[in-house]
Amino acid sequence: MIRVGVVGYGTIGKRVADAIQLQDDMELSGVTAHSYHYRMRLAQEQGVKIFHLGNPESFAESNLELEGDIHNLLEDSDIVVDCSPKPFGAQNKALYQQHNVKAIFQGGEKADIADASFVAQCNFEDAVGKNYVRVVSCNTTGLSRTIHALQKAYGVKRARATLIRRAADPAADKGGPVNSIIPSLELPSHHGPDVRTVIPEVEVFTTALIVPTTLMHVHNLSVHLKGSPSTEEVVDLFRRTPRVRVLAGSDNIKSTSNIVEMARDMGFKRGDMHDICIWEKGVGIHGEELFYPQAVHQEADVVPENIDAIRAMMGISDMKTSMRKTDESLKPQHLKQATLMH
Amino acid sequence: MIRVGVVGYGTIGKRVADAIQLQDDMELSGVTAHSYHYRMRLAQEQGVKIFHLGNPESFAESNLELEGDIHNLLEDSDIVVDCSPKPFGAQNKALYQQHNVKAIFQGGEKADIADASFVAQCNFEDAVGKNYVRVVSCNTTGLSRTIHALQKAYGVKRARATLIRRAADPAADKGGPVNSIIPSLELPSHHGPDVRTVIPEVEVFTTALIVPTTLMHVHNLSVHLKGSPSTEEVVDLFRRTPRVRVLAGSDNIKSTSNIVEMARDMGFKRGDMHDICIWEKGVGIHGEELFYPQAVHQEADVVPENIDAIRAMMGISDMKTSMRKTDESLKPQHLKQATLMH
């Protein structure tokens, strides 16, 4: 049993903590919190140990029982998943070094915080046995999963992507834009270079804009391939690619809101969608260029990656076994024996 | 075992069908569909029987196995819950009469379609043994639950509510307004008179506006009471009222997006919130008037009402037993033995 601590209990941290509890080879040693939030009470009522990171007095009024501070959590953990907002992961690294505990950081941190950046199906081996690994951001994860599949199958001359990014997460009641479109004025956007921390051999250039929606990001891709597959062959490749879900034309799922509704209907906790979703009808080839639109659930797609990174760093599993185990564990109960919608 | 059919498998129908499957005194005899939708496949893969209502050829390409048509479903059901969009419920009534099957209609239909309009905690008795009952709309349900509690405890001279309505349901990718506020130009809005189909003795007047959001409705209420309770007493009353949830000030849940996030965190399927949520810090008394804001999850609050209406009409349970049974069944697995967040 690997004892895993989670530092930071926000959008990603709460999901990673839930996912750890679903693994039969891991145990959640506890989670940290800066200050009281109803989520901490929910966690405690489900038997999760809470450790403070900051000022214990901010919990005084909450009746929340604290198990100790982050040092106590680290003493009791083989590895931690740091889900703090940037740049707190980098600040926390010294603590992990001091306690000689392996650590996973999230994609908001700079790549050089870790020995490897990670997307399970692309470079699992790079993380094996490492002490510090960075799971890349939701957008980089999404780009890496599909571009890597194309690179392996046909070779990629160059990949271009326009990222249409969500303004804020669903729980946010501030953040923007409310009614405007904001182009990112960095060229390339940081996502392209970030993809190359995972698949360095591919030439990727990305641009990004933010739009007033909270549900998912959408990437609009154009990829020059070395090979010349048919549209059908590419769709079939995507169907066979792990953690990529092709939305069949006949299912008439037309928008990010439709995708989120499907995930809710399927019974995933919080309506999460861990797969990158590609609209089948949007896949097409024009000359040498392959075009496709894909949707990325920013709250969820990196969750299975964090679980696989734990297995890689602890050296207890190969890629395929870990990914299969992780994906099966995250399915809603009634889907566990079915091969549903995929 | 009561055999229940569900006619119409949209926002409400799919939830009611799920809820029926969670009851130990009911069995889902099947659901109907007009044409193929991925939801029907999801349902079939979970063992739900599908009956067509309309053109069976529209299912030809879907590989969906149909059990027959709506007549076959009605032959196999003791009662149906009609979740068709208005005015199809009224059109379907002749079928139910022909097959001598009891039927529940939704709040979009006119009140005179049924022998009683229904909110379990307000007028369960009115539905006992009836053949046709109408579960009122999400908004009317929300208003009825809290105003009825006030009426019972203190007496209500008059109730006034401004309804700030969501533009469309989350899955919608059309509907409006996108970026505007639309005042309802009917006075009163239909909600006030509709509340009186459930609690006729209370004088209620409502006005409504639609705003560009999809998550929940919010009602802003001002109620002239006959008694003179303190704010604390009213909050305490709401805490003790079934299917009403007081959002503690210390939990810092400030918006509809925060409420939906809490429901997701708690693990309710689809992130549903069946309770009417009242912000504790928004409850206040000014002179004779009580003010409070409440949020209504339009996709979910009527779901338990439909289940209770079945028990009332079949005469198999009293109000308290039915409501307790229903509420317990809808909780996520890990909350079943806890008294969480309430």
* CB nearest B62 (choices: A250, A253, A267): A250
pLDDT of A290 > 90? The answer is yes
Residue ranges of chain B whose CB lies within 8 Å of a chain A CB: 14, 36-39, 41-42, 45-46, 61-62, 170-173, 179, 214, 250-255, 257-258, 260-262, 264-267, 269-271, 333-334, 338, 340-341
Confidence of residue A226 (pLDDT cuts 50, 70, 90): very high
Torsion of CA B17, B19, B22, B24, to 10 degrees: -90
Q: Would the CB atoms of A61 and B172 count as touching at under 8 Å?
A: no
* CB nearest B173 (choices: A39, A254, A338): A254
Confidence of residue A212 (pLDDT cuts 50, 70, 90): very high
Q: Which helix (H) or strand (E) holds A120?
A: helix A120-127
User: If you measure CA to CA, which chain B residue comes closest to A13?
Assistant: B265
Least confident range of A26-30, A31-35, A104-108, B276-280? A31-35
Structure tokens given for B318: 């009293």
pLDDT of A340 > 90? The answer is no
CA-to-CA distance for B89 and A52, rounded, in angstroms? Answer: 55
| Rounded mean pLDDT, A291-309 | 98
Q: What is the mean pLDDT of chain B?
A: 94
CB A161 within 8 A of CB A143: yes
What is the per-residue pLDDT for B337?
57
What is the per-residue pLDDT for A56?
82
CA-to-CA distance for B102 and B80, rounded, in angstroms? Answer: 6
* CB nearest B179 (choices: A172, A179, A270): A179
Render pLDDT for A142-168 as a digit per residue (tens, 0 to 9): 999 999 999 999 999 999 999 999 999
Task: Provide the 3-class DSSP secondary structure of residue A276.
Answer: strand
pLDDT of A338 > 60? The answer is no
Structure tokens given for B22: 């969670």
Asked about B83 being catalytic, the answer comes back as no
What is the per-residue pLDDT for A316?
97
Closest CA to B116 of B98, B128, B100, B99: B128
Structure tokens given for B191: 């909600």
Q: What is the mean pLDDT of chain A?
A: 94
What is the per-residue pLDDT for A341?
43
> With a cut of 50, which residues of chain B have pLDDT below it?
339-342
What is the per-residue pLDDT for B341?
43
% of chain B surpassing 70 pLDDT: 98
Render pLDDT for B86-118 as a digit per residue (tens, 0 to 9): 999 999 999 999 999 999 999 999 999 999 999
Q: How many CB atoms lie within 10 A of CB B281?
A: 15
Confidence of residue A283 (pLDDT cuts 50, 70, 90): very high
Confidence of residue A337 (pLDDT cuts 50, 70, 90): low
- What is the residue type of A183? P
CB B306 within 8 A of CB B329: no
Task: Provide the 3-class DSSP secondary structure of residue A271.
Answer: helix
What is the per-residue pLDDT for A339?
47
C-alpha distances (whole Å) from B208 to each of A18, B10, B108, B159, B197 are 40, 25, 16, 14, 19
CA-to-CA distance for A108 and A169, rounded, in angstroms? Answer: 15
CB A216 within 8 A of CB A295: yes
| Rounded mean pLDDT, A57-66 | 84
**How many CB pairs below 8 A link A and B?**
82
Confidence of residue A281 (pLDDT cuts 50, 70, 90): very high
User: If you measure CA to CA, which chain B residue comes closest to A270?
Assistant: B264
SS3 content of chain B, % helix, strand, coil (to 5): 40, 25, 35
Q: Would the CB atoms of B172 and A257 count as touching at under 8 Å?
A: yes
Distance of alpha carbon B153 from the chain centroid: 24
| Rounded mean pLDDT, A10-25 | 97
Residue ranges of chain A whose CB lies within 8 Å of a chain B CB: 14, 36-39, 41-42, 45-46, 61-62, 170-173, 179, 214, 250-255, 257-258, 260-262, 264-267, 269-271, 333-334, 338, 340-341
- Report ipTM for this prediction: 0.84
Question: Checking phi first, is residue A287 left (phi over 0); if not, alpha (psi -120 to 50) or beta?
Answer: left
Q: Would the CB atoms of B265 and A179 count as touching at under 8 Å?
A: no
Overall pTM surpassing 0.95 (yes/no): no
Q: Would the CB atoms of B45 and A338 count as touching at under 8 Å?
A: yes
What is the per-residue pLDDT for A153?
98
Kindly tell me the burial class for residue B133, based on how many C-beta atoms sit within 10 Å of its own C-beta (0-12, 13-18, 19 or more).
Answer: buried
Supply φ then ψ for residue A43, to 5 degrees. Answer: -65, -50
* CB nearest B341 (choices: A42, A264, A271): A42
CA-to-CA distance for B70 and B96, rounded, in angstroms? Answer: 10
